[in-house]
Every structure is written in C-alpha cells, then in structure tokens.
Structure 1
Amino acid sequence: MTRTLHITIGTRPDRSGLEETLGAIDAGEDVASQPSRLSIESLATFGRIFRPTNLELLEAIVEHEPDSIRELARLVDRHPPEVTENVNELADYGLIELEENGRAKRPIIWYDEIEFSGDISLRDMDVGGDVSAAP
C-alpha cells in the first residue's frame, strides 16, 4: 500500500488533517482512506522546505532509518546542530515525525511518496526577491 502526502501551495497552512493522520498511524489504525494533505503558504516557503539539503535528509531517513538525529547527521556528513535545525523545520511542517528514543529523537517518515499540486500565479508570486531591482 502506497501512502502519499499531498502538498499544495496555498495562501494559508492547513495541517489539521495531517495531525489526525499522524495520530491514527501512531494508534496503529488503517489510514488508507484518510487523505494526507499539507498546504504550504507561499512559493518561498515551499522552496525553503524542499531545498536540496532537506531533500537529502528525507532520502537518508527513508533509506537508512536512523535511530537519532546525530546518526542522520553522520549519514549526510553534516554537523548535528545544522541537521537538528533542518529536522525540526521538517517536523514543524509535518514532513517527518520525531519519536522519542531515550534522550535521542528518531526521525520517521510515514509516507512513501509526495505529490505536489497547485496553481502558481506569476503575478502573485512571493519568492523573496525584489524583481524591480533587475537591470
């Protein structure tokens, strides 16, 4: 069974359904019929969350299932404080779950794939740059 996280770029974040899905997974319930959705408020936020360093972390979590953030940092050859910051951001957006493992936190990904959708208006883009300064 493939579990898909559906991500849209929207004007306001809506993580309520995601929290319910995570709770159902924790309780061992079948969540196949529950849609998992995440709305990201802007294109700039989307770019920050899915930058290459974060994608590398997601890939390492899926491939190696590390027991801690420190182990994840070793896998990607980065400093643990930097990885902790990125992992916390991913957890804040519901892309990973952090499971208490003694004093450590174990990063877990509960989905198998990510599906992106949404309409991007070139007039209303918030990309964090000042296009009026272009030559």
Structure 2
Amino acid sequence: MTRRLHITIGTRPDRTDLDDRLGALDAGEDVDPQPSRLSIESLATFGRIFRPTNLTLLEAIVEHEPESIRELARLVDRHPPEVTENVHELADYGLLELEDNGRAKRPVVWYDEFEFSGDVGLRGLESGST
C-alpha cells in the first residue's frame, strides 16, 4: 500500500487527520488508503517548507534511515543545530516524525509519495510572510 500525503496550497491549514493517521501507521494498524491531507496557507510558506535544503533532508532520511538528527547532519554535511531546526519545522508540518531513540530523536518519513495541488493566483504570490 502506498502511503501518500496530499498537500494543498492556498488554503487554511488543516492537519486534523494527520496525527491520527501517523499514530495508526506507527502502531501497525490498517489505515484507509485515502491520502492524508495537509493544507498550506500560502505559496511563501510552501516555498519555505519545500526549499532545497529541506528536500535534501527528506531524501536523506528516506534513503539512509538515520538513527538520529546528528547522523542526518553528517549525511548531508551540515551543522547539527541547523539540521535540527529544519527537521523540527518539517515535523511541525507533519512531513516527518521524530521517534525517541534512546537520548536521540530519530527522523522518520512515513509517506512514500507527496501529492501537490492548489490554485495560486497573483494574490497568492503577494502574500509573503507567515
């Protein structure tokens, strides 16, 4: 079963089912194959979350399954405090989860695919900061 996160842009944030679905996946429960949904309020926020440095982190997590944020920082050749900040931002949006691994936190990506949609006109372009 493919685990897909459907991300919409330009709508109010709605993460209502995300935590429940992540918890069910973590517990090994069967989850409805309908994609989880994440709504991102603006194009500017979308750009910040999916900037190249964050995409590199997501790819490294999926490919290497690091045991800690510090190990992830070594994999991408970046300073651990910067990686920690980016990882927490990704976790806040539900794009990854941080599992306890002894004293460390292990970043885990639960989704096989991200699916994007949204209607972003010129108005979405001018709404800058969040």
- TM-score of Structure 1 vs Structure 2, range by shorter chain: over 0.9
Asked whether the equivalents of residues 10 and 120 of structure 2 are also in contact (C-alpha less than 8 Å), the reply is: no
Q: Which amino acid aligns with 2:92?
A: D
- Paired residue for 2:67? 67
1:35 Cα deviation from its structure 2 partner: 2.9
Q: Which stretch of the first structure deviates more once superposed, 95-104 or 117-126?
A: 117-126
Q: How many residues align?
A: 129
- Checking the alignment, whether the CA contact within 8 Å between 2:9 and 2:119 is kept in structure 1 is yes
| Aligned-residue offset at 1:127 | 5.0
Find the counterpart in structure 1 of residue 110 from structure 2. Answer: 110
Q: 1:82-135: per-residue Cα shift (whole Å, max 9, x none)?
A: 000000000000000000001100000011010000111113434538xxxxxx
* 1:39-78 equivalences in 2 (<5 Å): 39-78=39-78
With normalisation by structure 2, the TM-score equals 0.93
Q: 1:12-42 deviations in whole A, cap 9, x for unaligned?
A: 1100111110111122111143431100111
1:42/1:126 contact within 8 Å kept: no
Moved more, 6-15 or 26-35: 26-35
5 Å-filtered alignment, 1:73-92, equals 73-92=73-92
TM-score if structure 1 supplies the norm length? 0.90
Q: Is the 8 A contact 2:43 2:124 kept in 1?
A: no
- Which structure 2 segments of 5+ residues have no match? none
Which one-letter code corresponds to 2:106 in the other structure?
Answer: R
The CA RMSD over aligned residues, in Å, is 1.4
- In 2, Cα distance between the equivalents of 1:107 and 1:126? 33
Which structure would you say has the larger Rg? Answer: 1
